[in-house]
Amino acid sequence: MDILAEETGTRRDLTDQPWPGAPSWYTDGSSFLIEGKRKAGAVVVDGKKVIWASALPEGTSAQKAELIALIQALREAKGKIVNIYTDSRYAFATAHIHGAIYRQRGLLTSAGKDIKNKEEILALLEAILAPKKVAIIHCPGHQRGEDLVAKGNRMADLVSKQVAQGAMILTEKGNLPKSPEDIT
């Protein structure tokens, strides 16, 4: 992957290894059906508090929600050094390699049609330049461990689902709930 990333990467210093001493942020996008309606939400958390969270328009796909969460993390990290964790292989690969390849190919499929999530991919390619230094790291989703990455990812997952359902309205950065019972 390193050789491919060097040839087609979105940013020369983008890495998938954490920057020592940098804060760790966790992103998640959720999309699911409730009573026949597709609900979606996206969040950025630091393991203790919400950095950004939003319900997304009805019908938003899981992949689009994951891209939106990553874009917002990158925008919030403008001028900073940060480690951003995502459990989305799609968002991870788009940031590291596929986004640049899509751009080189004119954002078209092999059949000559627009790629899915074109606007979000373009926004990601722009936002990826905002941080001073950034590591975008893939982490497994739905892990039960007690390490910081597993806990941060679980919290992002929990909050993104709650935000998608409209159960949580955030007007400013706030503390994350400790468990589902803490969300009202």
For residue 16, tell me if it sits in a domain: yes
For residue 151, tell me if it sits in a domain: yes
- Confidence (pLDDT) at 2: 47
CATH code of residue 165: 3.30.420.10
Dump pLDDT digits (tens) for 97-113: 898 888 888 988 888 89
For residue 133, tell me if it sits in a domain: yes
Look at residue 150 and tell me whether its pLDDT is greater than 60.
yes
Buried b (16+ CB within 10 A) or exposed e, 144-170: eeeeebbebbbbbbbbbbbbbeeebee
Q: pLDDT band at residue 147, thresholds of 50, 70 and 90?
A: confident
Q: Mean pLDDT lowest for which of 50-64, 69-83, 153-167?
A: 153-167
Q: What percent of the chain has pLDDT over 90?
A: 67
Mean pLDDT taken over the chain: 86
- Between 78 and 108, the more confident residue is 78
For residue 182, tell me if it sits in a domain: no
For residue 181, tell me if it sits in a domain: no
- Confidence (pLDDT) at 168: 55
| Number of separate domains in the chain | 1
- Confidence (pLDDT) at 41: 96
For residue 183, tell me if it sits in a domain: no
Write out the residue range of the structural domain in which residue 45 sits.
2-176
Look at residue 24 and tell me whether its pLDDT is greater than 90.
yes
For residue 184, tell me if it sits in a domain: no
- Confidence (pLDDT) at 143: 78
State the residue for tokens 């900073």: 80
Q: Give the long-range contacts of residues 89-95, CB within 8 A, separation 24 or more.
A: 89/138, 90/63, 90/66, 91/27, 91/29, 91/63, 91/66, 91/67, 92/16, 92/136, 92/137, 92/138, 94/67, 94/121, 94/124, 95/10, 95/14, 95/70, 95/124, 95/128, 95/136
List strand residue ranges (DSSP E) for the chain, in order. 24-34, 37-45, 50-56, 81-86, 133-138
Q: pLDDT band at residue 180, thresholds of 50, 70 and 90?
A: very low
The Cα–Cα gap between 80 and 63 comes to: 26
For residue 165, tell me if it sits in a domain: yes
- Confidence (pLDDT) at 184: 33
The Cα–Cα gap between 44 and 82 comes to: 12
In this structure, the number of other CB atoms found within 10 A of the CB of residue 52 comes to 18
Question: Mapping DSSP to helix (H, G, I), strand (E, B) and coil, where does residue 56 land?
Answer: strand
